[in-house]
């Protein structure tokens, strides 16, 4: 591989990393003007005044936005129950209570927050940055209505009763409305089968909102992975960012969710639920809400749904809904990522170590791509041999680019050199490389998976930065072995710093990914040495025709 090709690959890799690390806010259409004005009014006035000032003939989008005011603070929480009463569903993953949230607590016993033996199970807090240890989370789900006279309903506490080992009911009733929520747990599932029922005794609101919240953080290491999701025509992802816009999503919206890199919570309406719209609502810096918006066409509405919280494991997600697996972000080359993940899982069955599985997978990919690397290196060797003639052409034609390019093409054709022969094999390999990068970055299988020595968690960065430093040193060696065709001093200078740039990027990335890069670089050096010996044994080429 010649130096220009190496530069192209390196720049592509850096652009790819920069995109993943820095561009965390996806593009989406601007909200309707009426929606923006409704949100501004809500921020500047109290909810009652804002609702009263809303235009009576507003569009559906504006009505949905005005309805979102039902989530804003509406005064003191009702004092119906000063003590939280919990019901633990036997053999189930969640706890429900008489509080206003759909779910009070939810722990995943198979996953721990840290690798310490006494570490607590992963719970809903993993979906939020929660850097200040605030136990009052917002990801448990909540409901609200748009009419101002029912704004208090997003804060009421009900009466919760256990109707069976795996069943519970939450009920609230007053002179205006009766609210009922039911939950059924199957110990084999990661989700609760629930149903929300609202029956109004007088005037009804226009919309029911069922929502989840997500909190990011400027200094949060996983800020770029804390997202809000919804499925419209396809998966849409919105990062919890410092600055966000309101977004009104037309029906139908299949489900909504919030998630971190390895875990997520989702609300998935079941058959029989009304067709829902969606709403993404900013709540402040790094905090936003995603909502299902159900139209109220009568005084009673019933919304059956699954409430899911669990690992972003492809098999688990598909068991809940066939489209949830799209939340595992394997990037543009998912078609390559799936088989590589399955192969890595297969290797781990026999090796019993995810780090060893990564090493073997890396070597297997290196073997499969050997013919492409051979063609690339052979092309670089050919270019190296005719490089003196190219330099003489540059001296002869100077700034006459047209003549220089014409003579260079003639020279290359004479010697059977194809410029695409060096780049094309590398371009073919790039989808595989990027897909493997995403697999190692996003797969729950590597969550807290130990390797050896000081690497106790392949999903976390190297605690002592040993592998990034080794990678930098190995890349310097690899650079020395690579055939050089660079004549531009600036290009040569840039190449010298490439190993350092790579090492710097790998410092904060998961050690599983750094392990792959290190093994790949070592295998490349071994492959380069073998190919260099092979080409040396082929003997010299016929004499090169010099340019007069």
Number of compact structural domains in the chain:
2
Kindly state whether residue 97 falls inside one of the protein's structural domains: yes
* 249 is a domain residue: yes
Q: Assess if residue 166 is contained within a domain.
A: yes
**pLDDT (mean) for 257-267:** 92
- Could you tell me if 307 and 346 lie in one domain? no
CATH of the domain at 48: 2.70.98.90
CA 251 to chain centre: 24
How large is the average pLDDT for residues 191-220? 88
Residues 409, 320 within the same domain: no
Encoding tokens for residue 6?
């190496």
Same structural domain, 248 and 301: yes
Q: Does one domain contain both 110 and 84?
A: yes
- Asked if residue 377 belongs to a domain, the reply is yes
Q: What is the pLDDT of residue 419?
A: 63
Mean pLDDT across the stretch 359-368? 90
Task: Let me know whether 217 and 82 are in one domain.
Answer: yes
> Is position 162 within any domain?
yes
Residues 72 and 208 in one domain: yes
For residue 453, the enclosing domain spans 3-18+334-537
Same domain assignment for residues 353 and 463: yes
Of all residues in the chain, what percent carry a pLDDT higher than 70?
A: 72
Indicate whether 462 belongs to any domain: yes
Q: How far apart are CA 367 and CA 54, in angstroms?
A: 66
Domain boundary among 265, 300, 324: 324
Give the best-scoring range by mean pLDDT among 172-186, 322-336, 391-405, 470-484.
172-186
Q: Residue 491: what pLDDT?
A: 63
Instruction: Read off the pLDDT band of 308 (50, 70, 90).
Output: very high
Can you give 395-444 as a three-state secondary structure string?
Answer: HHHCCCHHHHHHHHHHHHHHCCCCCHHHHHHHHHHHHHHHHHHHHHHHCH
CB 509 within 8 A of CB 441: yes
Residue 441 lies in a domain: yes
pLDDT of residue 73: 26
Same domain, 405 and 490: yes
Tell the burial category of 238 from Cβ atoms under 10 Å away from its Cβ (0-12, 13-18, 19+): buried
The pTM of this model reads 0.74
Name the domain boundary from 293, 324, 355. Answer: 324
The Cβ of residue 521 has, within 10 Å, a number of other Cβ atoms equal to 21
% of the chain beyond a pLDDT of 90: 30
| pLDDT at residue 32, as a whole number | 37
Check whether residue 84 and residue 42 sit in a common domain. yes
**Whole-number Å distance between alpha carbons of 223 and 414:** 55
Question: Which stretch, 53-57, 376-380, 516-520, has highest mean pLDDT?
Answer: 516-520
Confidence of residue 124 (pLDDT cuts 50, 70, 90): confident
Same-domain check for residues 224 and 366: no
Q: Are 520 and 471 in contact (CB under 8 A)?
A: no
Average pLDDT over residues 285-308: 92
- Residues 255 and 389 grouped into a single domain: no
Question: Based on the domain organization, do 274 and 342 belong to the same domain?
Answer: no
pLDDT at residue 485 tops 60: no
| Residue 446 domain-assigned (yes or no) | yes
Domain's final residue, options 324, 349, 372: 324
Higher pLDDT: 422 or 261? It is: 261
Between the CA of residue 255 and those of 37, 106, 497, what are the distances in Å? 27, 20, 47
Q: What is the pLDDT of residues 138-175, one digit of tens each?
A: 578 899 999 889 999 989 999 999 888 788 999 999 99
């Amino acid at each position: 591989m010649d130096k220009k090709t190496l530069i192209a690959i390196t720049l592509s890799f850096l652009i790819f990393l920069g995109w993943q690390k820095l561009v965390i806010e996806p593009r989406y259409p601007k909200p309707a003007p009426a929606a923006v004005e409704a949100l501004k009014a809500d921020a500047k006035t109290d909810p009652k005044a804002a609702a009263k000032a809303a235009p009576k003939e507003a569009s559906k989008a504006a009505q949905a936005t005005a309805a979102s005011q039902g989530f804003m603070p509406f005064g003191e929480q009702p004092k119906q129950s000063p003590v939280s009463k919990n019901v633990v569903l036997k053999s189930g993953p969640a706890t429900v209570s008489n509080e206003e949230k759909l779910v009070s607590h939810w722990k995943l016993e198979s996953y721990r927050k840290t690798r310490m033996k006494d570490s607590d199970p992963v719970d809903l807090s993993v979906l939020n940055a929660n850097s200040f240890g605030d136990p009052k989370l917002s990801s448990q789900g909540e409901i609200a209505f748009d009419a101002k006279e029912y704004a208090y309903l997003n804060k009421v506490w009900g009466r919760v009763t256990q109707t069976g080992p795996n069943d519970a009911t939450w009920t609230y009733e007053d002179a205006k409305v009766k609210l009922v929520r039911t939950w059924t747990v199957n110990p084999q599932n990661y989700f609760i089968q629930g149903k929300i029922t609202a029956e109004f005794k007088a005037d009804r609101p226009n919309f029911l909102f069922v929502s989840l919240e997500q909190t990011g953080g400027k200094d949060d290491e996983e800020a770029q992975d804390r997202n809000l999701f919804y499925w419209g025509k396809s998966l849409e992802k919105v990062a919890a960012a410092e600055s966000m816009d309101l977004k009104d999503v037309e029906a139908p919206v299949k489900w909504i969710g919030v998630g971190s890199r390895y875990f997520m919570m989702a609300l998935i309406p079941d058959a029989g639920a009304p067709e829902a719209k969606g709403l993404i609502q900013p709540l402040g810096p790094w905090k936003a809400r995603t909502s299902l918006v159900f139209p109220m066409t009568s005084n009673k509405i019933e919304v059956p749904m699954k409430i899911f919280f669990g690992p972003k494991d492809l098999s688990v997600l598909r068991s809940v809904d066939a489209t949830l697996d799209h939340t595992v972000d394997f990037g543009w080359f998912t078609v390559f990522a799936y088989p590589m993940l399955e192969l890595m899982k297969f290797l781990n069955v026999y090796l019993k170590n995810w780090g060893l599985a990564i090493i073997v997978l890396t070597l297997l990919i290196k073997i499969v791509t050997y013919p492409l690397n051979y063609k690339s290196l052979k092309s670089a060797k050919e270019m190296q041999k005719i490089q003196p003639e190219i330099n003489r052409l540059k001296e002869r034609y100077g700034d006459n680019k047209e003549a220089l390019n014409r003579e260079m093409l003639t020279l290359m054709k004479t010697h059977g050199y194809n410029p695409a022969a060096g780049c094309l094999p590398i371009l073919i390999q790039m989808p595989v490389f990027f897909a493997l990068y995403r697999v190692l970055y996003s797969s729950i299988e590597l969550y807290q998976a130990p390797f050896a020595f000081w690497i106790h968690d392949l999903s976390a960065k190297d605690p002592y930065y040993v592998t990034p430093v080794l990678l930098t040193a190995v890349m310097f060696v690899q650079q020395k072995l690579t055939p050089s065709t660079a004549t531009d001093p600036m290009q040569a200078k840039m190449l010298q710093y490439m190993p350092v740039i790579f090492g710097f990027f790998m410092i904060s990335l998961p050690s599983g990914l750094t392990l792959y890069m290190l093994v790949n670089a070592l295998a490349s050096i071994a492959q380069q040495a073998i190919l260099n010996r092979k080409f040396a044994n082929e003997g010299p080429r016929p004499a090169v025709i010099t340019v007069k």
